[in-house]
């Protein structure tokens, strides 16, 4: 079990730029700890996916430091990093001939250094992950024959099969129906709180973030607007500023939870 005091992954003033936009992501400081489920939210182009790619080690920051368990992330060997951090990109190939189980088994890659075939243990883990994401029924079917939502759950299972301590997901529920949006977010919350993972999920669904995440980070235009627990960050006042949308807060009877309801774009388009 990781040391509860030390963050699993910590960034300090991490910034990033493209050649044509050198100061795209302004310095971000973030500490991911075991048991946390972070929601990265913000309008299109706010830098959410960029930040997630930095955390995954897919891009090098132009400034600031990143540490995995106290070690500079850039110096961690790739395979070692892959055993700690799993990443699920927003767009995954769907037209593969491999079976769903095969795709999930491929997630075991960083755990095998030698040997050509998966072990019985790998297969057990893969099947358990498929069950977790409600994808077990089509384990034997080729990925290409699955619907978008089914394929998404298979890819999520593959990320879980990597047995990471940090799970990074880019809009994992974008293709899912209501039921699976809820089951996946419930699972993410569970993974964080019960299994001690640190989860970071990019999402556009403010209500899911508010309900299932332990923390949120609100980005706008590459700048960190607010970090903290959802009820502190996701207020209509803050969100109306960021999204330029009038937002109402409603609560359902018999439930103390508040729901955010977008009404209409505000007049002053920036």
Partner 1 sequence: MTTLAGPAATLSPVRYIASLGLCALMIGVVLFLSPGIGSKIEIASLGNAWRAFASGAGGGDDYAIAFRIRLPRTILALQAGITLSLCGAVFQTLFRNALATPYTLGISSGGALGALIAIRAGFEVAFFGISSVSFCAFGGALAVVGVVFLFTRGTRRLTTNELLLAGVTVGMFCSSMMMLVTYLSNARQTFEIITWMMGSLDPIGNMGNSLSWPLLIPAWAVLILSARALNQYTLGEDLAATRGVNVVALQGVCILFASLATAIVVAFCGPIGFVGLVVPHLTALIVGRDCRVLLPAGAMLGGVFLAVCDWLSQLTMPLAGWLTGRELGGIVLPIGVVTAVLGVPIFLVLLHRRKA
Dihedral over Cα of 96, 97, 101, 103: its sign: negative
**CA 192, CA 201: separation in Å to the nearest integer?**
12
Query: Whole-number minimum distance, CB 19 to partner 1, in Å?
Result: 8
Return the residue of 2, 142, 196, 262 that touches partner 1, per CB under 8 A.
142
Residue 122: other Cβ atoms inside 10 A: 19
The residue (of 158 and 218) whose beta carbon lies closer to partner 1 is 158
> Would you count residue 138 as binding partner 1 (CB under 8 A)?
no
DSSP H or E segment with residue 169: strand 166-170
Choices 23-31, 89-97, 241-249, 258-266; region in contact with partner 1 by CB under 8 A: 89-97
Site for partner 1 in 106-125 (CB under 8 A): 106-107, 109-110, 116-118, 123
With contacts defined by CB under 8 A, how many residues of the chain interact with partner 1? 41
Angle between helix axes 178-193 and 148-161 (nearest 10 degrees) is 10
Largest CA distance in the chain: 62
**CA 59, CA 110: separation in Å to the nearest integer?**
19
The residue (of 146 and 213) whose beta carbon lies closer to partner 1 is 146
The residue (of 99 and 266) whose beta carbon lies closer to partner 1 is 99
Site track for partner 1 across 2-21, x = CB under 8 A: -----------------x--
Residue 240: other Cβ atoms inside 10 A: 15
Site for partner 1 in 55-84 (CB under 8 A): 56-58, 78-83
Inter-residue contact 125 to 108 (CB < 8 Å): yes
Interface with partner 1 by CB under 8 A: which residues?
Answer: 19, 53, 56-58, 78-83, 85-89, 91-93, 95-99, 101-103, 105-107, 109-110, 116-118, 123, 140-142, 144, 162
């Amino acid at each position: 079990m990781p040391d509860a005091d030390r963050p699993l992954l910590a960034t300090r003033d991490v910034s990033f730029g493209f050649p044509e936009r050198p100061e795209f992501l302004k310095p971000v400081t973030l500490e991911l700890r075991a048991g946390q489920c972070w929601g990265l939210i913000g309008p299109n182009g706010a830098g959410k996916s960029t930040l997630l790619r930095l955390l995954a080690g897919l891009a090098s920051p132009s400034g600031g430091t990143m540490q995995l368990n106290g070690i500079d992330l850039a110096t961690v060997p790739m395979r070692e990093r892959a055993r700690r951090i799993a990443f699920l990109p927003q767009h995954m190939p769907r037209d593969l001939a491999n079976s769903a189980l095969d795709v999930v088994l491929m997630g075991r890659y960083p755990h095998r250094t030698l040997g050509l075939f998966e072990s019985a243990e790998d297969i057990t883990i893969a099947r358990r992950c498929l069950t977790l994401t409600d994808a077990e029924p089509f384990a034997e079917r080729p990925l290409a024959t699955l619907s978008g939502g089914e394929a998404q759950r298979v890819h999520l299972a593959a990320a879980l099969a990597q047995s990471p301590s940090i799970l990074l997901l880019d809009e994992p529920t974008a293709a899912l129906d209501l039921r699976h949006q809820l089951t996946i977010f419930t699972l993410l919350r569970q993974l964080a709180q019960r299994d001690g993972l640190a989860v970071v999920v990019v999402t556009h669904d403010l209500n899911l973030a508010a309900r299932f995440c332990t923390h949120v980070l609100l980005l706008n235009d590459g700048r960190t607007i607010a970090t903290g627990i959802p009820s502190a960050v996701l207020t209509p006042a803050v969100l109306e500023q960021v999204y330029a949308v009038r937002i109402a807060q409603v609560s359902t009877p018999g439930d103390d939870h508040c729901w955010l309801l977008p009404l209409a774009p505000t007049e002053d388009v920036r």
